[in-house]
Amino acid sequence: MNKNIFILLIGIIILYNCKQKRGIEYSFTEVQINNSDHYLTLPIGIEKNEVEDYTEGIYQNFIYSDKSFVIISTSGFGQIKSPENEYPEFHWRKEKIDGIQIAYGNVKTERKAEFDKAFDLMKVNGIKSKKNE
């Protein structure tokens, strides 16, 4: 009888832990695209926000402390190029959302789901606009 109770308790603990992992909550922030009324939904923790302004649009880099980054391009001419992935523990993803090229790179496996969630939210909801608020 004690053995069965022990096995039942272990099973409950395992199921509880599996359920918690599926429900991971991430924290996001709304980050302004240059000086526009448009905002991206990105994981929190951005350390640097660098903007390169060109006649045909901008490139904007959001850099995190772990060296992962998000880059956007509002130019119709320049393309964000995917790097060759020599290291399988680092990930890269590129999307075009509401006419804006957006990519993340140098993202470690343990943070990939967090960045994917931010990109998926923007694909579903679009780029946010604060113009009418």
Domain boundaries, the chain: 27-129
The tens digit of pLDDT for each residue in 62-98 reads 999 999 999 999 887 667 777 666 677 899 999 999 9
Tell me which H or E stretch contains 38. Answer: strand 38-43
pLDDT in tens, 33-62: 998 999 999 999 999 999 998 888 899 999
CA distance 55 to 90: 33
Spelled out in words, what is the top-level CATH class assigned to the domain 27-129?
alpha beta
At 69, list the tokens: 């980054």
pLDDT above 90 (res 4) = no
Half-sphere exposure of 66 (CA within 13 A, CB side): 15
Quick check: 119 and 111 in contact, CB under 8 A?
A: no
